[in-house]
Structure 1
Amino acid sequence: MKKLLFALLLYSPLLAGAQAATWKVDRDHSSVAFSVTHLVISEVEGNFKNFEGELKAAKPDFSDATITFSVDVFSISTGNDPRDNHLKSNDFLNAEKYPKMTFKSTSFTRITEGKYLLEGDLTIRDVTKSVKFNVTYGGTAKDPANKLRAGFKANTYINRFDYNLKWDKMTEAGGMVVDKMVNIELKLELIKQ
């Protein structure tokens, strides 16, 4: 009897984990975008074309979710080739040396109906910092192929200087050409596997 009890205690976390469903990001119906203030007076927007992500959760409200995400730095696009090349250079992301940005969740907390706080570790270049995303859950629906999909929006602000993206020039009036604060917004559609 003691051996049976010991075996149940030993394997129960594995059995519980086995019930978790896996959801993968559908890149064709998702986006990873950013914006930053330019010359103090306007904003420049951009996005990353190549990325992948996965969510695992056993609970139907996703409150026990674990999330991993990666972005291909070379896929950055702001609609301007010289600017994109500058962003890929060592002044900013140094894509040659650090071709991926990654995120790994540490918690996904339900705040109210459809609202969550996602916390985790974001790595850009060789720097990893804890960040918080405000997340809105849009619900689930079946697509024409009878696959279950879930929709989420997530946003946060990061200080690019924290990640050694320290290129800077000042305007004549003393403001920054490129602000240090960057808004990140993800619109994600995930498919249950």
Structure 2
Amino acid sequence: MKKILSILTVLLFSVSTFAQLVLKSDPAHSRIQFAVMHLGINDITGNFDKAALTINADEKNFVNSTLSFSADTNSINTHVEARDNHLKSADFFEAEKFPTLDFTSTSLTKTKKNYYTLKGNLTMHGVTKPVTLTLVYRGSTVNAMNKKTTYGYQVLGTLKRSDFNIGAKFPATMINDLVRIKGDFELTAE
């Protein structure tokens, strides 16, 4: 009986391992963008030039997959050097003390074809909070350059900067509390 259980355990482990596909984002084709309203009249946009997404994809049932993404806060880029430096300072991200923002999924629910509700924990500026985002599967194709299948995913959501104590000195009339984010990622299997 023990021998049969051992064989079944090995088979189940082999099947579950086979059903997993680890996808890693391509740094040259992945970034997290953001937009926040300034003075109530204009969006200021920017991005984190260094961002990564990993999906441990369950090939049989994608909703059982797990996702994590991170961004290097020192890579923030609004195309205005003085503003970028201010955003890296203690007034906002404190990039020297908190060099990354990190997300780890806790659940994934399909809402319609290629759209999912993505729940997880986001750690930013030393604060971890649960957030709900949207994950969009944009499709896949074989990259002619490297002959690998490339998958496209997008992460969308709105966060409150006050939840993470970012820019606490600046009232919402100056910099809105709501920050829209959009992450675009191209991934390939490891």
Q: Distance in 1 between matches of 2:181 and 2:29?
A: 17
Aligned residue for 2:79, secondary structure, equals coil
> Scaled by the length of structure 1, what TM-score is found?
0.89
Name the structure 2 match of 1:116. 116
> CA, structure 1 residues 98+16, in 2 after alignment: closer, same or farther (shift >3 Å)?
farther
Name the structure 1 match of 2:160. 159
Q: Deviations over 1:47-75 (max 9, x none)?
A: 01112221111225632211111111100
Deviation at 1:42, TM superposition (A): 0.7
Contact map agreement 1:168 1:177 (CA 8 A) in 2: no
> Scaled by the length of structure 2, what TM-score is found?
0.90
AA at the equivalent of 2:161:
R
Name the structure 2 match of 1:137. 137
Aligned residue for 1:63, secondary structure, equals helix
Quote the sequence identity (%): 33
Q: CA RMSD in A?
A: 1.9
Name the structure 1 match of 2:98. 98
Q: Deviations over 1:142-176 (max 9, x none)?
A: 11122011111211111101101143445xxxx61
Unaligned runs of 5+ in 1: none
Deviation at 1:11, TM superposition (A): 5.2
> CA, structure 1 residues 156+13, in 2 after alignment: closer, same or farther (shift >3 Å)?
farther
Q: Distance in 2 between matches of 1:185 and 1:94?
A: 22
> CA, structure 1 residues 30+7, in 2 after alignment: closer, same or farther (shift >3 Å)?
same
Name the structure 1 match of 2:180. 183
> CA, structure 1 residues 22+168, in 2 after alignment: closer, same or farther (shift >3 Å)?
same
